[in-house]
Chain A
Amino acid sequence: MKLALKIAWRFLTSSKGQTILIILGIAIGVSVQVFIGSLIAGLQQSLIDTAVGRSSQITIRPVNRDDRIPDYEAIITKVKATEPEINSISPVVDSSAFILANDSTYPTLLRGLQFDTADGIYRINEGILEGKLPTGDQVMLGKEFMDEAKLKVGDTISLVTASGTKRDVTVSGIFDLGVANLNKNWALSEMGLVQSIFDLGDQVTSIESQVSDVFTADVVGANIQKVVPSSLKVENWKDLNASLLSGLNGQSISSLMIQVFVLVSVVLGIASVLAISVAQKSRQLGILKAMGIRDRIASLIFLLQGFILGIFGAILGVGFGLGLAVAFTKFALNPDGTPVIDLFIDPQFIAISALVALAAATLAALIPARSSSRLEPIEVIRNG
């Protein structure tokens, strides 16, 4: 083993140009993998973040649409106790209503929230553009709605229910949740206001929550379903966003395909260069065999060459890839100076890419290793 390593190392260092070329080849392959992988992962993260980052990922609501949840405090306590994966959980009173402002009527979703807990889901405090959170007979409206209805903070508007009840409220502030649709259609207030307008007592319409790992939402949801009364159903974002998920899935697969093809080309490259090097070193192999080196050790020389090339290629490739990724986030910027895509650097993914390249390099060396083991010393000795 030591001898094989010494010979492998010497073979590699005595034809430096060729060695550097293969290492560069592997490194470029690995760096493409690391870069593309991080790019796609970052892309997916930002997509998921946009889609479900500021929304309820698991929602508990009555099976029957017109029912309410009376004992929501007890349910929240129970859910928190059973599922440590739940990050934030908050009761909500939702109801559709109309907003009467400046002689125009707008349909709206009136959302009664418990702001201290709802902030964990919607990051409302972060999203306040102007004014403050509503209390009592106040509502907070979205940026787009305020523009459309030509309202400003402090204005008075009327909330009208389908049955005709009307309540005057003042606008306490403007929010921007990052999604135009929500900014236009949501009116936020304290739970109590909605409960009193619609005469709901201390009942809520749903309980919303977020989990620490968004992809576990379905499993966590299923666990929650087991502990809540059967009159309630538990929905999770994955079931409701099948098309987004299949899109992400398609992206993952195409990313995997790219990586597989890069890998194949790396393997072919190494295999062919090492095959050439067996031919180049057949004289040396013949001499070593005439001196009594065993076939196994002779093969090991080439296997180790592949391994050494793989190690250096992988290390260099990870360096290149990370460099590329950093350069990308530094130089590919939006007008406001934020990166176009935040890359997601996953150490585990990078470690796997490096290990796979290493394994591929070693595997690629198997073919030349086999042919080196078959070489008969007499061929070399006889033919000079």
Chain B
Amino acid sequence: MANVISLRNVNKIYGTEIKTQVLYDVNLDVEENSFSSIIGQSGSGKSTLLNIIGTLDKPTSGEVFINGIRTTEMKKDALAKVRNETIGFVFQFHYLLPEFTAYENIIMPYRIKGDAITPEVNERALELIHLMGLDKVKDNRATKMSGGQQQRTSIARALINNPKIILADEPTGNLDSDTTEKVYDLMRDINDKFKTTFLVITHDPRIAQKTDRIIEIKDGRISLDLVNQIA
């Protein structure tokens, strides 16, 4: 199967005066339609890696390919387009726009894409809302929802443009274990249903156990990369 994410010798060094190297020669390939988890200690470089994959950050050296296209040399507008159409983000602190309702937040990436809202897209948004169990709160402002609802809203938002890849940084980091379970099951369903590739950072070993592949980062290097037979 094709790789939707490829990293070649990615290094990341922060700072100019005092240099801290956070990633060391990372090589990684992620297959289409897979569901992988990234684990590792706090400060090991997981978020840095994910942000580089998501084109939000640039590697100090090395190459990043998304869907076969090299993103390391791309212009800002082109990167914005990649983020909008190919990647969906779910951040730890859900990052919804507080001025907008759940529905409006979910539809936002589609509007950013610039196409007119068609009945089909509206249908899709409502389907995602239903899938995430948000029917009751879809017209609530982001601030008028519970943490779990906000997180599910941001997952729905990540999915609206039907991206190839979902990058999630501790998406359940501040949710209780029941809700965490539910959110993961949802992501799993979507992975099956829409053939979306998932790359998820987690601290929760029980969650990692359920993914197809577990990648462990230690001090900026991939220290463990195993295909999970149990999942």
Chain A residues within 8 Å of B, Cβ to Cβ: 3, 6, 10-11, 14, 283-284, 286-297, 377-378, 380-382, 384
Contact = CB atoms under 8 A, between A and B. Distances in A.
B99 interface: yes
A378 B56 contact: yes
Contacts of A289: 80
Interface stretch (B37-45, B106-114, B179-187, B198-206): B106-114
A291 B83 contact: yes
Nearest to A10: B99
Taking residues whose C-beta sits less than 8 angstroms from the other chain, chain B's interface range is 20 to 34
25 contacts: A3-B112, A3-B114, A10-B100, A11-B99, A284-B98, A284-B99, A287-B95, A287-B96, A289-B80, A290-B91, A290-B95, A291-B83, A291-B84, A291-B112, A291-B157, A292-B83, A292-B84, A292-B85, A292-B109, A293-B80, A294-B76, A294-B77, A378-B57, A382-B51, A384-B93
A291 B99 contact: no
Contact of B109 (A291, A296, A381): A291
B80 A382 contact: no
A6 B91 CA distance: 24
Contacts of B98: 14, 284
A14 B93 CA distance: 21
Contacts of B130: none
Contacts of B97: 284, 287-288
A381 B51 contact: yes
A290 B83 contact: yes
Contacts, number: 67
Interface in B41-95: 47, 51, 54, 56-57, 76-77, 80-85, 89, 91-93, 95
A289 B157 CA distance: 14
B109 A3 contact: no
Contacts of A290: 54, 56, 83, 89, 91, 95
Nearest to B158: A291
A381 B77 contact: no
A129 B108 CA distance: 79
Nearest to B89: A290
| Candidate in A6, A292, A377 with the most chain B CB atoms within 10 angstroms | A292
A384 B173 CA distance: 13
Contact of A283 (B80, B83, B95, B100): B95
